[in-house]
Amino acid sequence: MFQLTTRSLVKRPGSFVAGFLAVFFGAAMVMAFGSLLDTAGEPGVPDQSKETLETMAFVVGGWGLALVVFAVVSTMSLTVRQRAREMALLKSIGATPAQVRRLVVGETVALAALAAVAAIVPAMGLGQLLFEALKETGQVDEGVSHAFGPVAITMGMVNAMVAAVVGALITARRATAMRAAEAMADASGAGGDEPLMGRARWVLTLLALLATAGSTTAVLTVLDGEGTDVMTGAGPAVVAASVTMALLAPVLLRGVTLALGWALRLLGGVSGELAVRNVRQRTGELARAVAPVALFTGTAAGTLSMQRVENLRLRADGLVADESSQTMETMNYVVVGIIVAFCCIMLVNTLVSATSFRRREFGQQRLAGATPRQVFLTVGLEALLVAGTGIVAGLVAAGVGLLPFGQARADAWVPDDGWVWVIQGAVVAVAFLVTLAASIGTARRVVRRSSAVEAALAA
């Protein structure tokens, strides 16, 4: 088994790129925030600075951790899923479920370890950047210097490993629970008869929903009117709501497709029909792309617009002098920006990986007589459904965080500031463009590189 593990990692690096990137960026982000704890632990750091550093690491780093776990689990299960056929093959030549599981987990651990180690150097830079921003805004004493040490590395490594192994186990369980023949049929890509969401997913959704409800309640009760502390409840609320939406992605996508299918058929003709058919038959698979869109839109629109309200409030209260209020604002955006950038990277990562995997299907469409343009149009319309579902879900999640935050922080449910809506609009535009560009761009590359022949005959 070990030999198989190393062979499959070395011989086909392409199929592991998405998983590697997810762990790499995730670990870099976690380590960067973790290094703030290393810094706080250095001897001679004044209490005030120590507290700021710890709050930043725990609160903001904490939401980041939730995002990283979700992103890595989702990408890992996508990577493993794409190899369903290979697993079926292994089972058919006599591998026991335990052996298949060991193979998948072994590969994943090796991959995650490599990615996490590779993330150390970039994480040092990112941590330094975060620290400098804190120092420049006067939240940390001039005398303190940045440290990157055991806490950062341990947090990053443990997080990467746990998330990767959980992701691998979830999918390996699915692959190994099936009989070999079923697995072969499933690998043909017809989409199974299984329910949209398994029991475990419903349980997780419920947990995420409870977390959302809990933090929102805290914002509206204990934290109401507590100044800058409101954010410590509202931030997690946005992330929890976004994760809830991402978990619900299959159900949401099914609903949106049912509601808007006719319009797509009307607009897109045969391409529209194919797109709707594909989404309906493969809701589970395409929902993997909806999840990062929802996560990106929710966290970006939610945290950025809350930050805007927070900044306005700080300025109105005159708590900070005008000039430093500017830097404070920049600082806040740096922190939120890191998280948002991570979500955006995950979005592209998932879409590129999911679309590349459809090479054979595109070839089959070509052979049935579809021109390249008809294939792109189909992919584009599918992306439209995916983006639309994710964006609406993300905006709902952002609202769940933003409205109570506005009430608790500024006594107004709906923020009375045009920029908040500009931010939300910009986030929507980015989510939309990135989804479309990543899907169609990858489809173009795949269809170009593989002429119809290659795809059909590489059966």
Partner 1 sequence: MFRVTDEAVAGAPEALRLVSVSKVYGRGGGDETAVKALDGVTLSLPTGTFTAVMGPSGSGKSTLLQCAAGLDQPSAGLVVVAGAQLAGNSEAELTRLRRQRIGFIFQQFNLLPTLTVLQNVLLPSKLAGTKINRAKAVSVLERLGLGQRLRHLPAQLSGGQQQRVAIARALVTEPEVVFADEPTGALDTRSAREVLGLLTQAVRDYGRTVVMVTHDPVAASYADQVIFLADGRLAGALQRPTAEEVAERMTRLGAWDAEDSPVAAHGVGV
Rounded Cα distance between 242 and 296, Å, is: 8
Q: Does 189 bind partner 1 (CB under 8 A)?
A: yes
Q: Contact between 367 and partner 1 (CB under 8 A)?
A: yes
Residue 190 lies near partner 1 (rule: CB under 8 A) = yes
Q: What stretches of 42-96 show up as alpha helix (H) in DSSP? A: 47-55, 61-81, 84-92
Q: What is the DSSP string of 295-344?
A: HHHHHHHHHHHHHHHHHHHHHHHT-S-HHHHHHHHHHHHHHHHHHHHHHH
Question: Is residue 364 within the footprint of partner 1 (CB under 8 A)?
Answer: yes
CB-based contacts of 343, cutoff 8 Å, min separation 6: 67, 71, 292, 295, 296, 299, 300
| CA distance linking residue 371 with residue 395, whole number of Å | 36
**Of the two residues 102 and 360, which places its CB atom closer to partner 1 in the complex?**
360
- Is-contact 29 338, C-beta < 8 A? yes
CB of 262 to partner 1, least distance (A): 17
Please identify, using beta-carbon distances, which residue of 318 and 369 lies nearer to partner 1.
Answer: 369
Binding-site string for partner 1 from residue 271 to residue 310, where x marks contact by CB under 8 A and - marks none: --xx--xx-xxx----------------------------
Q: In terms of CB distance, is 282 or 313 closer to partner 1? A: 282
Closer to partner 1 by CB, 48 or 371: give it. Answer: 371
SS3 139: coil
At residue 113, φ and ψ (nearest 5 deg) are -65, -45
Min dist CB 283 to partner 1, Å, is 11
| Cβ neighbours of 169 (radius 10 Å) | 18
Nearer to partner 1, 291 or 375 (CB): 375
Kindly state whether residue 366 participates in binding partner 1, applying the rule CB under 8 A: yes
CB 105 within 8 A of CB 165: yes
* Signed CA dihedral, 383, 384, 390, 395: sign only: positive
Contact call for residue 452 and partner 1 (CB under 8 A): yes
Is residue 259 at the binding interface for partner 1, with CB under 8 A as the rule?
no
Give Cβ neighbours of residue 449 (< 8 Å, ≥ 6 apart).
none
* Of residues 373-412, those binding partner 1 (CB under 8 A): 373-374
Of 240, 370, 391, 427, the one binding partner 1 (CB under 8 A) is: 370
Q: For partner 1, give the closer residue by CB, 158 or 367.
A: 367
Q: Which residues bind partner 1 (CB under 8 A)?
A: 185, 188-191, 269-270, 273-274, 277-278, 280-282, 361, 363-374, 451-453, 456-457, 459
